[in-house]
Amino acid sequence: MTRILVLYYSAYGHIAEMARAVTEGARETGASVVLKCIPEFEAREAPAEGQGDVPVATIDELPDYDAIVFGTPTRFGNMAAPMKAFLDRLGSLWAQDALVGRVGGVFTSSGSQHGGQEHTLLSMQASLMHLGMVVVGLPYTFKGQTRMDEITGGSPYGATTIASGGNGGDRRPSTNELEGARFQGAHLARIAISIRGTGPIEKVQRQALLARADG
């Protein structure tokens, strides 16, 4: 069975809500989906909320999954420091090509409509591509991201939510934003299932090289 990890950092609970929606969407495909958060960060800028009983992921377990979806709030147009610190510790997996061919996705939140969401998503995707992951976004087949009748997050690079127009962080993810997160989870899971059906990526690459040599 295809195994998917939804891995997040949430300071005020918004990303935790989005992570649960991503998890729900991925599970609809029949995949085995695990929800975890990243380890605590010593210099945390705010107390984390919304984690509850969600277990903490370890770096060594990441290669056990066929796909990983990363979620983090935006901080000055980039990922939050705890998520950046976690990704920076994946050097050993990078050196072993341990995540090559795994499917990866990202989602985020910001405190305003134009709070750097897309730059955050793209910077995270760049990290996943350095690890050799196959990056999957939120396609426009999710029509909710083209809505003009309400304020909403959503991006072709990944699902997003807007936390608040002020400093209180009191706006929760909207129905449309949560639907986008569910859609992304299901979309990514289906692609992961399809890739897994072709066999290990190393075997597929080797077969392609042999076919090229024979040709």
DSSP string, the chain: --EEEEEE--SSSHHHHHHHHHHHHHHTTT-EEEEEEPPP-TT-SS---S-TTPPBP-GGGGGG-SEEEEEEEEETTEE-HHHHHHHHT-HHHHHTTTTTT-EEEEEEEESSTTSSHHHHHHHHHHHHHHTT-EE----TTSGGGG--SS----BTTB-EEE--SSSS--PPPPHHHHHHHHHHHHHHHHHHHHHHHT--HHHHHHHHHHHHHH-
13 carries a ligand binding annotation: yes
31 carries a ligand binding annotation: no
Q: What is the CATH number of the domain that holds 195?
A: 3.40.50.360
- The pLDDT tens digits for 148-193 are 999 999 999 999 999 875 555 589 999 999 999 999 999 999 999 9
10 carries a ligand binding annotation: yes
Question: What residues make up the domain containing 30?
Answer: 3-214
146 carries a ligand binding annotation: no
107 carries a ligand binding annotation: no
- The pLDDT tens digits for 39-92 are 876 544 444 555 668 999 999 999 999 999 999 999 999 999 999 999 999 999
Counting the structural domains of the chain, the total is 1
14 carries a ligand binding annotation: yes
- Model confidence pTM above 0.85: yes
119 carries a ligand binding annotation: no
